[in-house]
Amino acid sequence: TVPEKVLHEMSQFSRANFPATRMRRVRRHDWSRRLVAENHLSVDDLIWPIFVFDGKGRQPVESLPGVDRIGLDQIPATVESACRLGIPVIAIFPATPSDLKTPDAAEATNPDNLVCRAVRKIKQEAGDALGVLCDVALDPYSSHGQDGLVRDSYVINDETVEVLCQQSRVQAEAGCDIIAPSDMMDGRIKAIRDTLESAGKTNVQIMSYAAKYASAFYGPFRDAVGSSGNLGTASKNTYQQDPAQSDEALHEVALDLAEGADTVMVKPGMPYLDIVYRVKSTFGVPTFAYQVSGEYAMLSAAANHGWLDRDKVILESLLAFKRAGADGVLTYFAEEAARLLQP
Ligand code: PBG
C-alpha cells in the first residue's frame, strides 16, 4: 500500500501539473499501451490440467462445460495439441472407477494405476518436450473422499504421509516430472523429498500446493474425479486452510520451502490474489496459482449465457495472475488461452 503522505504528494503534483499531466496520453493508441505494458501473458505461463478415465473417447463433465474427461486413447491427440501450442506442462487427474476406491486408498500406490499409465503414455509420445505434473493426495482413490487416511472421523497425518510418499514414488517411477502434493498434511514435503532422493529421482521437482484453502470453489473438480459423492457433506477444514487466514499462508510456504519444495502454488486463484502477491513478494521463488474448477465454471457459465465475452475474460483473468506476481497459472482454460495467445 502507498503511504498516505506519498498519495497526498502525488495528488498535489498531478493537480499542479494538469494539463501537463494527462494520464490518458499513453492509453490513446494500441502501440503505446503495448509499449508501456508492465505485465505480459504468454503460452509459457500455462499448466494444462486434464482428467483421465479408464476407457476410450471423451466424457463431458456437466459442472465444467467444455472440459471432458479423456480416455487413454485420446492422449496422443492431447499431447500433440499441447506441443503444437507450446504449453510447457500437462497435469493429470484420474477419475478412478468406484470399485477401486477403498478406505485405505490403496490404488494410489499401484504402479499400474490410471495416472501412472497416463504418465507413461504421455512420456512415450512427448519425451522431454512436455513436462508432466501429478497431484499427490488420496481423494481420487479413497472411498470417503478425504485426501488422507481417516481414523475416528479424523484425517490422520503421519500415516497419511507414508502413503503419499509411496504415491509420489510410483508416479516418479512412471516418468512424472513434477510431484505436486495437494493434501496439506504436515511434514509431507520433506518426507516426499527424502523418498524421491532415495529412489534415485533426484531431479523430479516438487511443486507444493503450499497455501491451499478449504474452498467451496473445488466443487466441479470433485464431480470430475467422482469424489463429491464419496465426500458427501464432510469437510476438509482440519487440514486445508481457513479462508480467513493470510499470514498463515506465508508460514506454510516457508515450511514447504525449508522442507525442499522447488516451487509453490496458491489455490484457489482469483479470490486469493492477495496471497499470490504476498507469497511472491516475500519469498521471490517460482510461484504458481491454480485457477480452480469453480472459477472456470463461473466464467464459462456466464460466457455460455452471453453475459461475458469468453475470450476477453479468459485473457484478463490470466493476466491478473501475472500482475499479482504469479509465474504461471494452472487453468482449465489452458488450451483455449494458448490458442488465443498464438502469435
Ligand atoms: C485434491 C485436489 C483438489 C483439487 C485439486 N487437487 C480437490 C480438493 O482439495 O478437494 C481442486 C482443483 C479444482 O477445483 O480445480 N486434493
252 is in an annotated binding site: yes
What the block records as the C-alpha cell of 124 is: 512415450
Are residues 81 and 166 located together in one domain of the fold?
yes
Q: What is the mean pLDDT of residues 299-326?
A: 98
Are residues 79 and 25 located together in one domain of the fold?
no
- Residue 211: partners with Cβ closer than 8 Å, 6 or more residues away: 241, 249, 252, 253, 264, 265, 266, 267, 272, 275, 279
Residue 327 and residue 45 in contact, taking contact as beta carbons nearer than 8 Å: yes
> Which atom of ligand 1 has the smallest separation from the CA of 296?
15
Are residues 31 and 124 located together in one domain of the fold?
no
Please name the residue whose Cα sits nearest to atom 11 of ligand 1: 218
Q: Ligand 1 in contact with 133 (CB < 6 A)? A: no
Are residues 18 and 63 located together in one domain of the fold?
no
Are residues 26 and 49 located together in one domain of the fold?
no
Are residues 227 and 241 located together in one domain of the fold?
yes
Are residues 30 and 60 located together in one domain of the fold?
no
Write down the pLDDT at residue 15: 65
| Number of domains forming the structure of the chain | 2
For the entire predicted model, the pTM comes to: 0.95
Query: Where residue 113 sits, what CATH number does that domain have?
Result: 3.20.20.70
> Which atom of ligand 1 has the smallest separation from the CA of 219?
14
Write down the pLDDT at residue 221: 94
- Give the model confidence (pLDDT) of 131-173 as tens digits: 999 999 999 999 999 999 999 999 999 999 999 999 999 999 9
Are residues 205 and 193 located together in one domain of the fold?
yes
- Give the model confidence (pLDDT) of 220-256 as tens digits: 999 999 888 899 999 999 999 999 999 999 999 999 9
Range of the domain at 135: 41-340
CA of 261 relative to ligand 1 center, distance in Å: 19
Are residues 29 and 153 located together in one domain of the fold?
no
- Give the model confidence (pLDDT) of 59-78 as tens digits: 999 999 999 999 999 999 99
What the block records as the C-alpha cell of 24 is: 490518458
Are residues 148 and 130 located together in one domain of the fold?
yes
Is 322 one of the catalytic residues?
A: no
Are residues 142 and 7 located together in one domain of the fold?
no
Q: Ligand 1 in contact with 292 (CB < 6 A)? A: yes
Is 101 one of the catalytic residues?
A: no
Are residues 30 and 153 located together in one domain of the fold?
no
